[in-house]
Amino acid sequence: MNFWTKVAGIILRNRYLILITIAIITGLLASQMKYMKFSYTEANLLPENHEANLEYNKFLKIFGEEGNLVILGIKDSTVFTPKKFNAWNNLVRQFEDLEEIDFTLSIADVKELRADRKKRKFVLEPLYEKDPTTTEEVLEIKKQLFEKLPFYDNLLFNKETGTLQTAIYIKKDIINTLARRDFIFDKLIPTIEKFEKENNLDVRISGMPYIRTLNAQNIQDEIILFVFGALGITAIIFFFFFRSFRATFITLLVVLVGVTWAFGFIGLFRYEITVLSALIPPLIIVIGVPNAVFLINKYQQEIKKHGQQAKALQRVISKIGNATLMTNITTASGFATFVFVKSDLLREFGILASVNIISIFILALLIIPIIYSFMPLPKKKHLNHLERKWIENVVDWMEKTVKEQRITIYIASVVIIILGIIGVYQIRVSGSLIEDMPKSMEFYKDIKFFEKEFGGIMPLEILIDTKKEKGVMKLSTLKKMDKINDAIETFPELSKPISVVNLVKYSKQAYYLGNPKYYQLPTNQEQSYIFSYTKNSNSETGMLKNFVDSTGRYARITTFMKDIGTDKMDVIQERLKSVIDKEFPSDKYTVSVTGKALVFIKGTNYLIKNLVFSLSLAIILIALFMAWMFRSPQMILISLLPNILPLLITAGLMGFLDIPIKPSTILVFSIAFGISVDDTIHFLAKYRQELMANNWKIKPSVYAALRETGVSMFYTSIVLFFGFLVFTLSSFGGTIALGGLVSVTLLLAMVSNLLLLPSLLLTFEKKIANKKDFKEPSIKIIPPKEEMNEE
């Protein structure tokens, strides 16, 4: 008696105990779901000790969180009328007093810097004392702002288009917590909607805290959509193939328990739900259903053959159990390779996916035979699908093609390889923080609005360490910083920079009675008496603290980036670096370019390097499985080629369709490879069985394996195709691309495994025909000979 026959006996003898155990584990894991929480930070794709992370953390330590700015914008000429102008300023005052807000900056807060000649110091005076009551007063304020205060240009207004902007700084200690979400949804959005209704104005909202909150909410909503979408579509297809409510119900029960376990594991491991881990529950449905297809199909075939339930159930476990275990292990291995990547985001995804794939296999192997054991035998109508004419025609066509068109199959494969390689060279890399965001959503349109009006919303920071206290306020340092400002202004992808340089220029303008033509750095002669005014004033120190640290050693230059890819960012970095290297000698200064968006871009590049590693590791692991299972070196090559070919097509499609490599689409290859190898294992397991039955004659064995496994492989591939197609319902660009690409890859993998794999076996029959080369496998994937003879 072999191992799997013993397993079958244990499962069927302990039905009640197993069901009670599954129920208890499901209950315990369901209780862990309360610990699930959604991520409130951007995904950090880099290891903790990566240089880009270390530089960013140093910046945060000196100046604090830079992603705490929410911006409101309004582009409407009617805002320059007393009622609307005052309402706009009052809107900001409503936020000022809230506990979540650090401070706000708006036209209502605009202070004009003036030189007090008697006290030899600068003072800040409000631009206007009381709210304007006539249009003339409003227009006078506008004129003062737009023509005389260049310091505030691009900060509070765009003088070219008349667009006004307001900055709301959220307290840094709540920026990565649930309190941020509550502020956005319960206070910010309702207040603005009320203002829009009362004043008939369209307010644009953006800024990283706002975008991240709405993004997290989108992920939350889509988990439900994916789970129910995947359940619905797989149930419909399953029923279409099997025409059995009973079989459909059992399959749905298995995957629902699997989904509960998936959510339970996320809670148990205390992982945050990110855009990647949100894919796990629907992924488990899509991978779980093919397990059910193979098990139920085998059960029905056995019932049709001999009509004995106990014997049929025992054979389902003993014959399909091992092949299904191998397929699930190879799929899990594809995901488990992410565990070796240093990115926490991918490591968590790899752990969750591999644990859940093995779990869904165990659940299917236990629940399906046990529930069938309590049910009456399937009726004749439930077995009719086994003799369906159209599926026979499909299998006949495949067999005929392999027999007569082998050369055509090889030519088509070579053409596909060449096209795939051409496509691969056209793939671009995208490290954009917002590229995946839903294009139809209002907040995406608002991002584009701020990009057009103010140059972007994603902060890019330049940190300057002068290596000595008060080194920032030296005129030589300021002039060097101004050179960087000039370089930044040459890039249309970046907004006008904000730094201490702007403030010093404003001081000179104030010294010369507010004349805007003096908005420039002081000369060496002017330096001493303008800076003497600065030392005497408190007014500037409040403004200074945002740009210079308390010791005067560190300064920051802040600019905002448009949504640009890695290529453009590399060009910008190179040009900035050449200016920095020229102006700031490394022995006297340390200058680093940082910011959340830049860290994300570098993280994407890091991931791509790791993708090659994880995919290579997956291929090596699966090759070792094949070697271990079949003990034949030739079989490794023959089994891997049909699975690498679909990956090449997918990569080529990404190049031709301009779908970039990014964190979301990086998973396509590992998911597709891990799943497509399943078909190969099922085919080769059956082929091996047929070889022994046909006395090592390759041709009859190949055709018999094709007929036997063709139907199940066809069913599972269709289920997988439509299951992954559910992801195209997403509003995230990356998830749509992931769903579409994996669906296409798996369909191509099925064709490759049913046409190219048998063709290769027939072509290389001389090499693998004898028993010596094709040794007894170390695992019994096939039943013992006496069982086969019994059939």
pLDDT of residue 40: 64
Same domain? For 108 and 121 the reply is yes
Same domain? For 176 and 220 the reply is no
pLDDT of residue 433: 64
Structural element, H or E, at residue 605? helix 596-630
Same domain? For 273 and 413 the reply is yes
CATH number of domain containing 355: 1.20.1640.10
Residue that the structure tokens 């994937």 belong to: 781
3-state secondary structure 197-223: HHHCCCEEEECHHHHHHHHHHHHHHHH
Structural element, H or E, at residue 113? strand 111-116
Q: How far apart are CA 384 and CA 403, in angstroms?
A: 28
> For the chain (length 791 residues), average pLDDT per consecutive 10?
80 92 95 82 75 90 81 92 91 87 84 82 84 91 89 88 90 83 92 93 90 80 84 87 85 93 93 81 85 85 84 84 80 81 81 93 93 83 68 82 88 91 86 70 85 86 92 91 92 90 90 90 84 63 72 91 78 88 91 86 78 78 74 77 87 88 76 80 79 80 83 83 86 82 88 88 68 49 42 39
Same domain? For 254 and 341 the reply is yes
Q: How far apart are CA 414 and CA 251, in angstroms?
A: 39
Describe the strand order of the beta sheet including 458-465 as a list of residue ranges: 554-561, 458-465, 590-594
Residue/partner pairs of 424-427 with CB below 8 Å, 24 or more apart: 424/648, 424/651, 424/652, 424/655, 425/655, 426/655, 426/656, 426/658, 427/651, 427/654, 427/655, 427/660, 427/661
Structural domain includes residue 432: no
- Out of 573, 599, 625, a domain closes at 599
Q: Which residues contact 575 (CB under 8 A, 6 or more apart)?
A: 487, 491
Structural domain includes residue 430: no
DSSP 624-675: HHHHHHH--HHHHHHHHHHHHHHHHHHHHHHHHTT--B-TTTTHHHHHHHHH
The closest of 333, 580, 596, 365 to 465, measured between CA atoms, is: 580
Structural domain includes residue 433: no
Same domain? For 226 and 199 the reply is no
Same domain? For 624 and 590 the reply is no
Same domain? For 571 and 618 the reply is no
pLDDT of residue 560: 87
Structural element, H or E, at residue 590? strand 590-594
Structural domain includes residue 653: yes
Asked whether the beta carbons of 60 and 66 are under 8 A apart, the reply is yes
Q: How far apart are CA 777 and CA 462, in angstroms?
A: 61
Instruction: Annotate 63-77 with b (16+ C-beta within 10 A) or e (fewer).
Output: bebbbbbbbbbbbbe
pLDDT of residue 386: 64
Q: How far apart are CA 239 and CA 257, in angstroms?
A: 19
- Out of 599, 615, 636, a domain closes at 599
Structural domain includes residue 273: yes
Token pair for 92 = 């900001």
Sequence length of the chain is 791
Paired sense of beta strands 272-273 and 37-38, if any: parallel
Same domain? For 558 and 516 the reply is yes
Give me the number of domains the chain comprises: 2
Asked whether the beta carbons of 312 and 302 are under 8 A apart, the reply is yes
Token pair for 149 = 């205060």
pLDDT of residue 267: 92
Same domain? For 162 and 256 the reply is no
Same domain? For 677 and 772 the reply is yes
Token pair for 319 = 């014959």
Backbone φ/ψ region at 634: left (φ over 0), alpha (ψ -120 to 50), beta: alpha
- Out of 557, 584, 599, a domain closes at 599
Number of alpha carbons in the 13 Å side-chain half-sphere of residue 401: 19
Asked whether the beta carbons of 639 and 756 are under 8 A apart, the reply is no
Structural domain includes residue 434: no
pLDDT of residue 785: 40
Structural domain includes residue 14: yes
Same domain? For 460 and 402 the reply is no
Same domain? For 353 and 304 the reply is yes
* Residue 732 structural domain: 3-42+213-425+600-790
Structural domain includes residue 764: yes
